[in-house]
Homo-oligomer: A and B are copies of this chain.
Amino acid sequence: MSKPSIPQGTRDFSPAEVRKRQYIFKTLQTIFELYGFQPLETPSMENLVTLTGKYGEEGDRLIFKILNNGLNAQTDEYKGKMNVEWEKMLGKPYTSTLITERALRYDLTIPFARYVVMHQNELAFPFRRYQMQPVWRADRPQKGRYREFWQCDADVVGSPSLINEAELLAIYTSAFRSFGLPVTVKINSRKLLAALAELCGLPEKMMDITIALDKLDKIGWVGVAKELQERGIGDDGIWQIEKVINVSGTNEEKMVAFADIMQHSAAGMEGINELSKTLAYYKASGQEPGREGSEIEVDISLARGLNYYTGVIVEVVCSHPDVKMGSLGGGGRYDDLTGLFGLKGLSGVGVSFGIDRIYDVMDELKLFPEQLAQGTRALLVNTGGENEAYALQLLQQLRASGIAAEIYPDAAKLDKQMKYANKRGIPFVLIAGDTERVANRVSLKNFTTGEQLLLDAAACIVAIKNQA
């Protein structure tokens, strides 16, 4: 028998990992609920037609498809079936019978749009939902990139108000504050990127400009300028873009400078207005708006996947000096998401948290609370015979007082049981042999201090609870 394994790009989560992941989910859930977002869960499988054509050509290729039931693992069997049944029946080899009609969820946004369209008559709009579920992509696995990973999204659909953008910014900053993770939330508007193209006199080149600008962090301005040139932007255009990129200062100062440069672009002025209003709403809700080095930062080079965003876009990056890690989350406004499924005119805006990366950074910076590791607090040693019933009764008392406790199920050697407690990291061991049982007491051993005391059940419970 070959050694069992799991598919490439998937993971088992050990108890310690599950506890830390649950801490992240629970923290986000608390914040989402506080902000009036409601939980939604959609099926792992969607009809293939729901997903196909929504993620671009590359995305379509990465969708995990599920084989229709009744078809077999081996192509020979499968092909045999084809030949015998269809080829004979149709007299020609290439039928178009489907072998798959279902696929695994690729993201949470398309299923959300599909849900909204299916339930449009029951929902109260604007509809604010959060969703924390796994998604699957047939990507080449590599460090930090998995084939099964978790997304955690909050979206509002059915309201064009920029208050929504401000609320989502506040969710970002309060979530990362809860995690103890210093971040910068970069903010931009797709309309400013459109205005840049207008400034160059090449409105149709917006995508090219965006793609080039997106690399500013990696290749610097010289590299970007070279790429802009290759993409057909003239010297004057490049100079205009450089001027915009070089604008520095507080967010307010940047907005003033942008307004000066873009005063003749309707898109540009609209984008500036959007960003200003969003920041003002954010500030009104008692949050401090972005200054240099603080949480929110207007960044005109921020691009993101532009296929469906139409307004404000955001991205979260870790600002801790020791951490090298890409985006921890992102999102933006998309004007017509549900239109894909026939419901026009509903504007949406959402943000996503990159759970796996947040986990990695928090682990690296040791930000998870220590007590998360706490599972079982007390192990009852099994000394066999009549002592078992006595130990079980003690065990029941510990649990009734809320202490997570277990008994070693077999009357094994003390040494073996101690090793077990140690390997599990259980801080207290309770030993009830004949002497203790007769005296209606128990020996409590504290692994942390090394102390051992002979106590009754009530005193034992107090001692364990006092060392939380």
Contact = CB atoms under 8 A, between A and B. Distances in A.
Interface of A: 1-7, 10-15, 18-19, 21-22, 33-36, 38-50, 52, 61-62, 64-67, 69-71, 73-76, 78-80, 82-83, 93-102, 104, 114-115, 117-119, 124-126, 128-129, 134, 136, 138, 147-148, 156, 159-161, 163-164, 166-167, 280-281, 284-287, 341-342, 375-376, 379, 382, 388-389, 392-393, 395-397, 399, 402-410, 420, 423-424
8 closest Cβ pairs, A-B complex: A36-B406, A10-B43, A161-B409, A15-B38, A284-B389, A124-B423, A18-B39, A286-B396
Contacts of A12: 40-43, 115, 118-119
A382 to B, nearest CB: 8
B64 A15 contact: no
A74 B136 CA distance: 21
Nearest to A374: B33
A65 B67 contact: yes
Copy count, this protein chain: 2
18 contacts: A3-B342, A6-B42, A6-B45, A10-B43, A12-B42, A15-B40, A18-B41, A35-B399, A36-B406, A61-B70, A64-B67, A65-B66, A69-B138, A73-B100, A75-B82, A284-B388, A286-B393, A286-B397
A66 B167 CA distance: 40
A75 B102 contact: no
Nearest to A161: B409
A154 to B, nearest CB: 12
Contacts of A48: 73
Given A38-B15, A388-B281, A99 B78 contact: yes
A124 B156 contact: no
A150 to B, nearest CB: 10
Contact of A34 (B125, B134, B399): B399
A392 B148 contact: no
A375 B67 contact: no
Given A34-B402, A164-B409, A285 B65 contact: no
Contacts of A4: 47, 50, 114, 117-118, 341-342
A67 B67 CA distance: 5
Contact of A5 (B118, B382, B393): B118
Contact of A392 (B18, B47, B99, B281): B281
A33 B375 contact: yes
Given A46-B7, A284-B389, A375-B36, A96 B76 contact: yes
A215 to B, nearest CB: 29
Given A76-B94, A98-B74, A99-B73, A410 B161 contact: yes
Contacts of A5: 47, 50, 118
A44 B12 CA distance: 10
Given A388-B163, A389-B284, A13 B36 contact: no
Contacts of A161: 382, 409-410
A443 to B, nearest CB: 19
A31 to B, nearest CB: 9
A158 to B, nearest CB: 9
A13 B112 CA distance: 11
A406 B128 contact: yes
A95 B75 contact: yes
A80 B96 CA distance: 11
Nearest to A42: B12
B341 A395 contact: no
B376 A284 contact: no
Contact of A395 (B40, B285, B404): B285
A64 B410 CA distance: 40
A257 to B, nearest CB: 25
A392 B388 CA distance: 61
Contacts of A138: 69
Contact of A97 (B75, B286, B395): B75
Nearest to A39: B18
A104 B45 CA distance: 11
For A38, A159, A382, which residue has the most chain B Cβ atoms within 10 angstroms?
A38
